[in-house]
Amino acid sequence: MSDLRIGGHVDQADPIAEAASRKATLSQFFLGDPQGWKAPVVAYAGGPTALRSAAEQAGIDLYVHAPYVLNVATSNNRLRIPSRKLLQQTVTAAAEIGAKGVVVHGGHVLKADDPTRGFDNWRKCVDKLDITVPLLIENTAGGDNAMARRLERIAMMWDAIETASGSDAVGFCLDTCHAHAGGEELATVVDRVKAITGRIDLVHANDSRDTFGSGADRHANFGDGQIAADDLVHVVCEAAAPVVCETPGGGDGQGADIAWLRDRVR
């Protein structure tokens, strides 16, 4: 896998320089405040056109992570409606910079809700979105009411989404820390995800600070957490998709993790 596209989650100001500092071939980043509701902005000097051109010249693939506050599954109109709007704005902005995809969490429903409401809200969301770059739904680590923690929930969500217009532009991002913390065995998770979605478009390769099934979303550098090295490498090799390291330590920490992974997937 010498052609593996791999990089880190980086500061949005200059994702090209951030990739170079990690000896990476891709960068993932936010377009604005991950905890806020303001419309996305491209912080790169020169704006979207300049970033797109610089990425093409440097051979760097760009991925955008949608804000954490988004929850298109919820029955709470005051959260779901602005979530749909911000997700559309994020997808549109990502297309302007030539991003390969937008990563978004699966969200959750309210405690008293039937989960099927969340699946149907995802269907409605996809049906109304103008998906100009692939929308990659990411599995999550915790929450009894989460749409994308357990594979059986992901299967029901996927069944709903597949009936929507534009569903062919919806893909999947597999996070190793989230799967481990969510109680899904990494040794078999790739095959089980592909049996549901038919695809894995991106891998978030992260070690986990916490134990299997803990429900805790706490990333660790490779070798510092609870996930066996062989399991991390196995997921990357079996998924055969681009990889983002969302591990601690900035350029140094992620750079070491990227080198660690490259040495093991050749």
Q: What is the pTM of this model?
A: 0.97
Q: For residue 2, what pLDDT is reported?
A: 65
pLDDT at 202 (0 to 100): 98
Instruction: Please state whether 119 falls in left (phi above 0), alpha (psi between -120 and 50) or beta.
Output: alpha
Query: How confident is the model at residue 132, as a pLDDT?
Result: 97
Domain 6-264, CATH:
3.20.20.150
pLDDT at position 87:
98
Instruction: Provide the pLDDT for residue 144.
Output: 81
Query: pLDDT tens per residue, the chain (266 residues)?
Result: 668 999 999 999 999 999 999 999 999 999 999 999 999 999 999 999 999 999 999 999 999 999 999 999 999 999 999 999 999 999 999 999 999 999 999 999 999 999 999 999 999 999 999 999 999 999 999 888 999 999 999 999 999 999 999 999 999 999 999 999 999 999 999 999 999 999 999 999 999 999 999 999 999 999 999 999 999 999 999 999 999 999 999 999 999 999 999 999 97
Q: Please state the length of the chain.
A: 266
Domain boundary assignment for the chain: 6-264
Instruction: Look at residue 1 in the predicted model and tell me its pLDDT.
Output: 63
pLDDT at 143: 85
Angle between helices 229-239 and 250-264 (to 10 degrees): 70
Q: Do 226 and 211 contact (CB within 8 A), yes or no?
A: yes
Q: Which burial class, exposed, middle or buried, applies to 163 when counting CB atoms under 10 A from its CB (0-12, 13-18, 19+)?
A: exposed
